Amino acid sequence: MLLAALAVVAACQDEAGTGPTVEVPSGRTISLIDVITNAPGPAGATARFRFLVPGLASEDADEAAVDMQAVCDNFALKRTDGMVPAPQQIVISFAGAEVPFGEAAPDVVQFFESYRIENGACVWEVF
């Protein structure tokens, strides 16, 4: 189930909006905001990949879920190689506008999905 959330735990934030664009099945234009690795998740070490998705709306949840799986499989997973500690979980987030990590933004649509890394693949988990 895709969850929309308004806030996440506070941690560091890298420079926003300078990351690459990533192709997704829906054809939307998405760009990397930052990668957060110093805020552990419930499974331990977690790599959070945060993306800007202009025009994101709450009714885009199903389409976003497909795009997020593709982002985990084709973009995020290969970027976790060599991270120390090795992440046990990848969290992909999409936001309609840039929101500082850990801050609430009730007026911005945000989606989050969690994946465990298993046999070199992203396996969706209930968040």
> Is the per-residue pLDDT at 40 higher than 90?
no
Average pLDDT along the chain: 85
CB 96 within 8 A of CB 56: yes
Question: What would the pLDDT profile of 104-114 be if each residue is shown by its tens digit?
Answer: 899 999 999 99
Question: What would the pLDDT profile of 51-100 be if each residue is shown by its tens digit?
Answer: 999 999 999 999 999 999 999 999 999 999 999 999 999 999 999 999 99
> Is the per-residue pLDDT at 4 higher than 50?
no
Q: What is the CA radius of gyration of the chain?
A: 13
Domain locations along the chain: 3-125
Helix (H, G, I), strand (E, B) or coil at 90: strand
DSSP H/E element including 4: strand 3-4
State residue 18's pLDDT score. 57
Its pTM stands at 0.83
What does the alpha-carbon distance between residue 35 and residue 19 come to, in Å, rounded to a whole number? 10
Percent over 70 (pLDDT), the chain = 85
